[in-house]
């Protein structure tokens, strides 16, 4: 449990970066304080000093669960000197002070916190992620550019997906991805996230056989170098999927133990419970007890050194970052901290994304990852809101947006990997009621998808498009059934709504690059109406302001945004609007999201 006052009304953890965050950039150092209160009518302020004491009011910035979050920002003048601080709470009971000793009537009794700016890990935003949109590629299912490397028994492109899809190959490869880079450039994406490409025993690649070799069914090292060069020439960054928690049973160390048993020098690379090795009834620990995925013993110094060597090899080769598979299952102290130091020591601008499915801020302290796969925002909030099921209304959407912004330090908020679907989930269009693989998408679901993606692109973080979503692909995720991994339908008109969705996403990608207000970490709620399924918020930054207004209702919806004045332009519709005396009058043809920039 996080430190809090004994009364349960104040929550603050000086070791938590979301509560005390040193932000460096633009030639200045800011210190961002966040205090959580569960006391109606109480107004907090922060009192701090590097020389003399200074008092600063704290702004109410939203709700995080049942806690009201207050924030204050100070500018650190001398990073070599400690910052001493405490909080003062003014309310019906008068003034009380909060410090390391908890709440007290006098500041001396509460005590003061102290931060030495140089002791907090540097956590700069990876600059090139600003305004970028990523595209996830499942290599075997994206495009076949070299049939000569197709495995025996390859299913013809567009053939039926089998239940045992992990052992089914369609022939997609790196050459096919290279051939389609111009297509992706036309879409406007600035980053590629590749599912595993190392030698493996399956089409999904999460059962690694050799971490230092490109899977022959996908190409070779020269092909990969060409991919990097061609992607970089088009200003696209490339991050790779790394599976360090477990290997495949074909991995050379596991094979040596399978052959030599207790005499193998690699017997301590895994968690064996006896010998000889039995893969039919596993006598070793495995990921989710899947026999083909034996779990590595990363506490073994040799294993750890080997995996760090893998990180060095590919980072030095020129990749732009890593997406880390199930990193929360590696709890060895210092492992991910060392990984970050290794990678950032080679390329300080490398982007590190962890596959974390829940809100877990401890991974984003500036010591492990830059971002997490933000399923709680995309899959768990935006999808149910726009689908209109499960009682997830505008109020719940507001809570989810505030959580995405307030649970993490602002650097992570701007870099979080915002997915609405992936190789591990149903396709977003299917989740929105579009139907399953093999049918034409429901037109209403297509409209919901466009509204959802418009709103996603208006939020902080890095938007991610799963391959084929831009062409209206459908696919359900079931038990031992992965229709969401079907091969890309390249034939023009394969999906009637494909061109409409592609054009919409291409416009959103362009807007994301052009408007700095869409990149910053702050979201300000403007309106919320459960009856109309409506939510509106303001985004600001770079000297501009953009208003996002969305509704999931399949009807015309109207809202007046009070307090807005001046001239505006709708970035999606390319229409002009003018705020009257009561505010900005916005009509939506739902489901729809309007992105409106203030012009004067």
> Among all residues, which ones are annotated catalytic?
325, 355
Between CA 79 and CA 597 the distance in angstroms is: 37
CA distance 460 to 597: 16
Distance CA 376, CA 413 (A): 13
Integer Rg of the chain from CA: 26
Nearest to 30 by CA among 39, 21, 41: 21
d(CA 418, CA 459): 9
357-372 in b/e form (b: 16+ CB < 10 A) is: eebebebbbbbbbbbb
| DSSP 8-state code for residue 289 | G
What is the CB neighbour count within 10 angstroms for residue 152? 5
β-pair partners for 525: 537
Q: What is the biggest distance separating any 2 CA atoms in the chain, rounded to whole angstroms?
A: 83
Nearest to 548 by CA among 396, 414, 401, 429: 401
Alpha carbons 535 and 593: distance in angstroms, whole number: 9
Q: At what angle do helices 335-346 and 301-317 cross, to 10 degrees?
A: 30
What whole-number distance in Å separates Cα of residue 466 and Cα of residue 169? 19
Rounded CA-CA distance 40/43 in Å is 9
Ordered DSSP codes for 185-243: HHHT--EEEEPP-EEESSSS--SEEEEEEE-TTT--HHHHHHHHHHHHHTT-EEEEEE-
**Contact criterion met (CB below 8 Å) for 33 and 44:** no
Question: In angstroms, how far is the first alpha carbon of the chain from the final one?
Answer: 48
Read off the DSSP letter of residue 408. Answer: S
Specify the residue for token string 């001396």. 108
The two structure tokens encoding residue 364: 């984003």
> Shortest CA distance to 424 belongs to which of 494, 478, 474, 359?
478
Alpha helices (runs of H) in 379-442, residue ranges in sequence order: 383-387, 394-406, 410-415, 428-431
3-state SS class at 451: helix
- Coil, strand, or helix at residue 500? helix
- Whole-number Å distance between alpha carbons of 474 and 179: 24
34 SS3 class: strand
Taken in order 492, 496, 498, 501, the sign of the CA dihedral is positive
């Amino acid at each position: 449990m996080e430190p809090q006052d004994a009364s349960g009304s104040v929550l603050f953890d000086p070791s938590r970066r979301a509560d005390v965050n040193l932000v460096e950039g633009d030639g200045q150092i800011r210190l961002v304080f966040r205090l959580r209160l569960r006391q109606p009518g109480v107004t907090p302020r922060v009192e701090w000093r590097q020389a003399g004491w200074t008092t600063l009011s704290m702004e109410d910035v939203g709700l995080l669960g049942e806690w009201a979050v207050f924030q204050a920002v100070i500018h650190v003048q001398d990073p070599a000197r400690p910052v001493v601080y405490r909080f003062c709470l003014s309310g019906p009971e008068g003034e009380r002070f909060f410090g390391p000793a908890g709440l007290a009537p006098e500041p001396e009794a509460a005590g003061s916190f102290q931060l030495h700016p140089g002791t907090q890990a540097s956590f700069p935003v990876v600059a090139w992620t600003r305004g970028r949109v990523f595209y996830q590629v499942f290599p075997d299912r994206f495009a076949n550019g070299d049939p000569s490397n197709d495995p025996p028994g390859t299913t013809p492109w567009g053939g039926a997906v089998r239940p045992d899809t992990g052992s089914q190959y369609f022939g997609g490869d790196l050459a096919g991805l290279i051939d389609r880079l111009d297509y992706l450039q036309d879409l406007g994406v600035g980053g590629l996230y590749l599912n595993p490409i190392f030698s493996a025993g399956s089409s999904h690649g999460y059962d690694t056989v050799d971490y230092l070799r490109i899977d022959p069914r996908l190409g070779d090292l020269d092909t990969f170098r060409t991919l990097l060069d061609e992607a970089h020439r088009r200003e696209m960054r490339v991050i790779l999927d790394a599976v360090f928690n477990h290997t495949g049973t074909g991995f050379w160390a596991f094979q040596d133990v399978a052959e030599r048993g207790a005499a193998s020098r690699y017997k301590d690379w895994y968690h064996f419970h006896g010998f000889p090795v039995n893969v039919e009834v596993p006598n070793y620990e495995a990921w989710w007890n899947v026999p083909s995925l034996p779990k590595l013993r990363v506490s073994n110094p040799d294993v750890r050194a080997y995996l760090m060597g893998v990180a060095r090899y590919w980072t030095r080769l020129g990749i732009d970052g890593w997406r880390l598979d199930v990193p929360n299952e590696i709890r060895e102290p210092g492992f991910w901290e060392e990984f970050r130091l290794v990678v950032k020591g080679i390329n300080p601008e490398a982007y590190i994304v962890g596959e974390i499915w829940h809100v877990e801020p401890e991974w984003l302290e500036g010591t492990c990852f830059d971002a997490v796969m933000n399923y709680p925002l995309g899959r768990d909030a935006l999808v149910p809101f726009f689908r209109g099921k499960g009682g997830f209304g505008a109020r719940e959407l507001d809570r989810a947006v505030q959580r995405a912004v307030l649970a993490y330090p602002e650097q992570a908020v701007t870099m979080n990997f915002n997915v609405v679907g992936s190789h591990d989930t149903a396709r977003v269009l299917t989740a929105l009621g579009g139907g399953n693989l093999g049918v034409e998408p429901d037109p209403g679901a297509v409209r919901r998808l466009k509204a959802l993606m418009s709103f996603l692109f208006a939020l902080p973080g890095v938007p991610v498009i799963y391959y084929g979503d831009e062409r209206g692909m459908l696919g359900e995720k079931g038990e031992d059934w992965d229709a969401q991994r079907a091969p890309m339908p390249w034939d023009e008109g394969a999906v009637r709504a494909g061109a409409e969705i592609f054009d919409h996403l291409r416009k959103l990608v362009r807007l994301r690059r052009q408007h700095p207000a869409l990149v910053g970490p702050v979201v300000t709620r403007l309106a919320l109406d459960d009856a109309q399924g409506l939510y509106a918020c303001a985004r600001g930054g770079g000297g501009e302001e953009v208003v996002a207004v969305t509704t999931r209702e399949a009807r015309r919806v109207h809202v007046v945004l009070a307090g807005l004045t001046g001239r505006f332009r709708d970035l999606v519709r390319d229409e002009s609007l003018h705020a009257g005396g009561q505010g900005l009058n916005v009509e939506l043809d739902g489901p729809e999201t309007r992105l409106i920039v203030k012009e004067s």
